[in-house]
Amino acid sequence: MLDITLITSLLNPSRAVSPSRTLLATGASNPDDVAIFKLPSFDPVAILQSHENWMFASAWVGDTHLITGSRDSTVKLWSICSDEILNQSPIVTRTDHGDKVRDLKYCMDTETLSTLSQDGTCKLWDPHEMLVVSSIRCPDPKELVCMAVKAPLVAVGSQRFITFIDMRCGHVVKSISSADEGWGVRSLSFQDNVVTCGGGKGRISFLDTRTQKYIRIREMNDSACTGENHMDTIAYSTGTGHVVKDQVYNEHFAGQEIKHAVYTHSHDFSGTSLLVAGGPLPYGLKGSYVGLW
């Protein structure tokens, strides 16, 4: 009855686990829809249908409410309390953004929702009222695709910068140049006072929010990555990964070195291991990279 499979759902770029770690929200076989699974069994629970284009991001506000953002420029609030398998009625639909909503994050400490859009703004919301509290225009409006939050900061990734916003006042605090030379910041995460940055050129860098500088790191003797000096910082580069050598590759990229953009990464609970995954940045190329560091 449910038109979803676990494999196709996990291909969606958005995945969110509920605070109790009992529910997973991700994309369904139709990327416009949201699939809800039980954890750890991965039994299907429900499909949420209302977006008119790809669902790019989701975040839980407690264990019974989910907020989603989409390529259709809307932000929606859903209740997961119903026993209905097919839910086509979000509690609230907001159209405050003027372009695709690329990412959203919920900060439990401050009960603040942050949304990021290709309209060039980051908006801070009261998720209980679903009202925008502040709208911040980002210094670099190009390729706004990722965020990370840790009270009181929101980190925003763009083509050239990592921009920090203070969610208490809704102002830009600082913009720091990306370590990837205009290839774009593709993933961000907080680990205590350090922001891990995944770049479009296949680099991983670590930014200390206290000093507002990149952390110098020693070269790793590992075939998966190399130490690399760049812009007076040191960043690690991903390995060669896999590239599908199809017609697009043979006609346009044959013989070239293909960098794998770091589209996602995650620290383990101890903070001593980092899972990095991504793929080729150029449009039309297919491939993948996964590394455990």
Q: Which pLDDT tens digit goes with each residue over 136-166?
A: 999 999 999 999 999 999 999 999 999 999 9
**167-202 tens-digit pLDDT:** 999 999 999 999 887 899 999 999 999 999 999 999
CA distances for 246 relative to 202, 241, 261, 284, 290, angstroms: 21, 16, 19, 10, 21
In the chain, the domains with their CATH numbers are 1-95 (2.40.10.480)
- Say if strands 161-166 and 171-177 run parallel, antiparallel, or are unpaired: antiparallel
Sequence-separated (6 or more) residues with CB below 8 Å from residue 200: 180, 183, 184, 185, 186, 259, 261, 262, 281
Is the confidence at residue 272, as pLDDT, over 90?
A: no
Question: Over the stretch 278-290, which tens digit does the pLDDT of each residue have?
Answer: 999 888 899 999 9
Q: How confident is the model at residue 99 (pLDDT cuts 50, 70, 90)?
A: very high
Q: What is the model's pTM?
A: 0.87
Q: Please report the pLDDT score of residue 1 as a whole number.
A: 37
Residue 224 is predicted with a pLDDT of 46
